Amino acid sequence: MQNGRILRIEKLSSFDGDGLRTVVFLKGCPLRCQWCSTPESQASATDFGVVRRKCGQCFTCVQTCPENAIHYNADIDRFVTDMARCSDCRQCVAECPNGARTAYGYTATVAEILKEIAKDSIFYYHSGGGVTISGGEPFVQADFLKDLLRGCLLQGINTAVETCGQAAWDHIAPVLPYIDTLFYDLKHLDDDAHRRLTGVGNRRILENLARIDAQQRPQRLIVRMPVIPGLNDGEENLRAVGEFCRKLTRVAEIQLLPYHRLGMETYNTLCRPYPLAQLASGSEDELRRKAAILEEIGLTARVGSF
């Protein structure tokens, strides 16, 4: 059985698929979207954050660290962790008297995660829910993902996966038989714009979507587009996304996801600048107009997820 790198597990979500769902967030992502709301999921390795308003600057973490990996940077008035020295022993987290220090990420076996998932079986049964694997990018840990999903299906638990699509086909194909619903992100149809906004081009993402469309599984394929004001929400891009999906045969619907700034506090905790600090959220009416454009093209579109 595989070990996986997990960010966290959230219970009773109603936004990540049918019914009530347990969402397992995995660590590691090949994209660096400017609007990413879970920056703590991007690295496969553990990240350390400090909640500034809780930190009493007592220096306990600095003194506790056996690797001398933490130092106080007076220029930014923050405690910084040198990850090249860190052995991930977590003593700094355990000893922080204010609970200000957080470790993002841990390693777990498939059996351990399945045990956690099974605790919510009664909710899946009554709500028609199941498990959603999110990230980060789940296909980064393809073997772990496959074993985890197979374990869910063996217990009769419905499965969903959220992907950015940037993965080797050899990692994606063996996992598809174990996915009931696949949520597939499309951000921009222009390769240069995609690279500018996410750090990678879109060629592989589009190719993978077309290949998935030709498979028997997943049972249901849903495209999601995060709509980021001024960055990818122009009509030209929207129509390009719509036309690409229209040529596919199995896209059940396109979900337009509104931009939000929920990740801002986490950027602060991680001591990283938030790339879109000045950007305001778009309006619900505007998203509805965009959904109508996709409907005109002949697609089923909705604002939001579930």
Q: What is the binding site for ligand SF4 (CB under 6 A)?
A: 50, 55-61, 64-65, 67, 69-70, 79, 81, 86-92, 96, 98, 100-101
SS (H, E, C) the chain: CCEEEEEEEEEEECCCCCCCEEEEEECCCCCCCCCCCCHHHCCCCCEEEECCCCCCCCCHHHHHCCCCCEEEECCCCEEEECCCCCCCCCHHHHHCCCCCEEEECEEEEHHHHHHHHHCCHHHHHHHCCEEEEECCCHHHHHHHHHHHHHHHHHCCCEEEEEECCCCCHHHHHHHHHHCCEEEEECCCCCHHHHHHHHCCCCHHHHHHHHHHHCCCCCCEEEEEEEECCCCCCCHHHHHHHHHHHHCCCCEEEEEEEECCCCCHHHHHHHCCCCCCCCCCCCCHHHHHHHHHHHHHHCCCEEECCC
Q: How far is the CB of 71 from ligand SF4 (least distance, A)?
A: 10
Q: How far is the CB of 106 from ligand SF4 (least distance, A)?
A: 12
**CB nearer to ligand SF4: pick between 89 and 176:** 89
**CB nearer to ligand SF4: pick between 80 and 297:** 80
Q: How far is the CB of 112 from ligand SF4 (least distance, A)?
A: 21
Q: Please say whether the beta carbons of 186 and 225 come within 8 A.
A: yes
**CB nearer to ligand SF4: pick between 86 and 140:** 86
**CB nearer to ligand SF4: pick between 65 and 276:** 65
**CB nearer to ligand SF4: pick between 158 and 269:** 269
Q: How far is the CB of 60 from ligand SF4 (least distance, A)?
A: 4
Q: How far is the CB of 94 from ligand SF4 (least distance, A)?
A: 9
**CB nearer to ligand SF4: pick between 98 and 305:** 98
**CB nearer to ligand SF4: pick between 13 and 64:** 64
Q: How far is the CB of 54 from ligand SF4 (least distance, A)?
A: 7
**CB nearer to ligand SF4: pick between 60 and 181:** 60
Q: How far is the CB of 272 from ligand SF4 (least distance, A)?
A: 17
Can you give the C-alpha Rg of the chain in angstroms? 20
Q: How far is the CB of 47 from ligand SF4 (least distance, A)?
A: 11
Other Cβ atoms closer than 10 A to 196: 13
